Amino acid sequence: MRQALATMPKCELHLHIEGTLEPDLAFALAKRNGVALPWTSLDEMKAQYEFEDLQSFLDLYYALMRTLKTKDDFKDLMVAYLTRANADGVKHAEIFFDPQVHVCTNGLDFDMMLDGLLEGMMIGRERFGITGGLILSIVRDMDIDSANMILDLAQPRKDEILGIGLDSAEVGYPPDRFVDQFARARSFGWHCVAHAGEEGPAAYIRDALDLLHAERIDHGIHIQDDHELLERVVRDGVPLTCCPLSNLRLQVVHDMRKHPIPEFLHEGLMCTVNSDDPAYFGGYVAANYAALADIGMPMEELAALAGNSIDASFASDGRKAQLH
């Protein structure tokens, strides 16, 4: 079964490249790049990987992001992820990155960072045949000026970026704050997706659809609280990019057996399975499928989820046909 789950062709549609920074690599990069971390040993650092909610994870995630400094750091991170993704049967990956943090907080050069990530994706394409693109994610709890500045920097390179996303601390940062940034991204010809309904309410999912014109909802777990919205999302075929291990580790769900994916699938929602921040949550994408197998989802439903990931991707129709 594990082998079948890993070889099933699939797309990964909800993956933060910074969330693939494994603790050992972060510790090594900190040393190499002269970045001071508050922990004196790798074991002490690893003891921080117990999360009580989204914010407690984000605190560590942003702290370790400071260890990424050079173009090669970004390239190597991408190649390391795509190597693991290839082993898990990923054929196409649409990958978030958080440039506001690298540029506005950590002082890196936007083009250097983007060049590193794109070079890594090119290597992944040549080495493994993995297609895909980058989704520039707006960090919703940072200053809106920093989001605008990043869009200014991205504009000359808009054709090298697939879309815009919205991530980070959700509650208190509703979609209506980001209408202008998403409108601008649409004028670039970018696809639009948004994290909504992870810790935030179902109303944020509705607003992401109505105000930001999101084509996919990242997480969307709290759609279970609004049946009318759920029926609309089923009717319109809006995909949800679900991340079971993330939800468990961030205590969005308290027991994997209570994860709503099986019910969502039965209700007709177009769910997909993804790994979010696999270096933090205990597994890459095949492990997320395996977690669902462990709670009793049958192989045909797991295969349907993989099929959904192909249909929900922004790949061309020709590429989708190849992957099915």
CB atoms within 10 A of CB 148: 14
Strand order in the sheet with 239-242: 10-16, 90-97, 131-139, 163-167, 191-196, 216-219, 239-242, 270-273
Q: How far is the CB of 171 from ligand ADE (least distance, A)?
A: 11
Instruction: Specify the residue, 6 or 247, whose C-beta has the smaller distance to ligand ADE.
Output: 247
- Taking the CA of residue 254 as centre, how many other CA atoms within 13 Å lie in the half-sphere pointing to its CB? 0
Q: How far is the CB of 296 from ligand ADE (least distance, A)?
A: 25
Tell me if 17 sits within 8 A of 97, measured CB to CB: yes
Question: What does the DSSP 8-state code read for residue 276?
Answer: B
CB atoms within 10 A of CB 317: 7
Q: Is the dihedral of CA 75, 80, 86, 92 positive or negative?
A: negative
Burial of 254 (0-12, 13-18, 19+ CB in 10 A): exposed
Q: How far is the CB of 304 from ligand ADE (least distance, A)?
A: 24
Interhelix angle for 144-154 vs 110-128, to 10°? 60
If binding is defined by CB under 6 A, does position 277 make contact with ligand ADE?
yes
If binding is defined by CB under 6 A, does position 195 make contact with ligand ADE?
yes
Instruction: Specify the residue, 6 or 217, whose C-beta has the smaller distance to ligand ADE.
Output: 217
Tell me if 61 sits within 8 A of 280, measured CB to CB: yes
Site pattern 23..62 for ligand ADE (x: CB under 6 A)? -------------------------------x------x-
Binding site for Zn ion (CB under 5 A): 276
List the catalytic residue out of 94, 170, 198, 199. Answer: 198
Instruction: Specify the residue, 100 or 168, whose C-beta has the smaller distance to ligand ADE.
Output: 168
Site pattern 100..139 for ligand ADE (x: CB under 6 A)? ----------------------------------------
Site pattern 233..252 for ligand ADE (x: CB under 6 A)? -------------x------
Concerning whether 119 is annotated as a catalytic residue, the answer is: no
Binding residues for ligand ADE, rule: CB under 6 A, are 16, 19, 54, 61, 167-168, 195, 198, 246, 276-277
Catalytic residues: 198
